[in-house]
C-alpha cells in the first residue's frame, strides 16, 4: 500500500507539473499554433498522469472502471479538440509565426 501511495503521488505531482507547464506555455508562446501545442500537453499528458495517479488510489472496484472510462474518453476527445482547433485556424487563414515574419507585407497577428 505504501509503495502504491508513493507511486500515486509521484504521478499526481508529475500531472500537476505538466498542467502548469501547459498553462505557462499558453501564455508565453509566441503564436497560436505553439500555444495550442502547449495547451494540448495539459489535455493529454497531464490528464493521463492525474487519472493514473487517482487509479492507484482506488481499490479496484467500480470507481476504477469509471476512471478508466474517463481516461479513454479524454484520450479520444482532447487530441481531437486540439486538432480541430488547429485545423480550423489554418483553414481560416491564420499563419504561424515563421510564415508571418518571412512575409514583410503581412502584419504580425496581435497577441
Partner 1 sequence: MTELIDLVLLAMLALTALKIIFLKDLFAVVMLFGIYSFLSALIFINLDAVDVAFTEASVGAGISSVLMLGTLALTGRTEKENKRSSLLPLLVVTVTGAALIYGTLDMPPFGAANNPVHEHVAPRYIEESPKEVGLPNMVTSVLASYRGFDTLGETVVVFAAAIGVLALLGVRREKTDNVRQSGFTDHYVLRIIAKLVIPLIILFALYVQFHGDFGPGGGFQAGVIAAAAFILYALVYGLPSAFRVVGPKFLQGLASFGVLLYASVGLYSMFKGGQFLDYNKLAVDPLAGQHYGIIIIELGVGITVFAVMLSIYYAFASQTERGNT
Residue 56 · residue 8 · CB < 8 Å:
yes
Q: Nearest 5 degrees, angle CA 25-CA 101-CA 20?
A: 0
Closer Cβ to partner 1, 83 or 103, answer by number: 83
Closer Cβ to partner 1, 20 or 98, answer by number: 20
Smallest gap from Cβ 58 to partner 1, in A, equals: 17
| Residues at the site binding partner 1, with contacts judged by CB under 8 A | 73, 76-77, 80, 83-84, 87, 91
Smallest gap from Cβ 80 to partner 1, in A, equals: 4
Angstrom distance (rounded) from CA 93 to CA 111: 16
Smallest gap from Cβ 88 to partner 1, in A, equals: 8
Give the residue from 43, 15, 37 showing the smallest Cα distance to 25: 37
Amino acid at each position: 500500500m505504501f509503495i502504491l501511495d508513493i507511486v500515486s503521488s509521484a504521478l499526481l505531482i508529475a500531472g500537476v507539473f505538466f498542467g502548469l507547464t501547459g498553462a505557462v506555455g499558453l501564455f508565453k508562446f509566441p503564436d497560436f499554433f505553439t500555444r495550442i501545442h502547449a495547451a494540448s500537453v495539459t489535455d493529454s499528458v497531464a490528464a493521463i498522469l492525474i487519472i493514473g495517479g487517482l487509479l492507484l488510489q482506488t481499490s479496484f472496484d467500480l470507481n476504477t472502471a469509471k476512471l478508466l472510462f474517463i481516461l479513454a474518453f479524454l484520450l479520444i476527445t482532447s487530441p481531437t479538440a486540439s486538432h480541430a482547433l488547429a485545423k480550423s485556424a489554418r483553414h481560416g487563414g491564420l499563419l504561424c509565426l515563421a510564415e508571418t515574419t518571412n512575409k514583410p507585407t503581412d502584419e504580425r497577428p496581435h497577441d
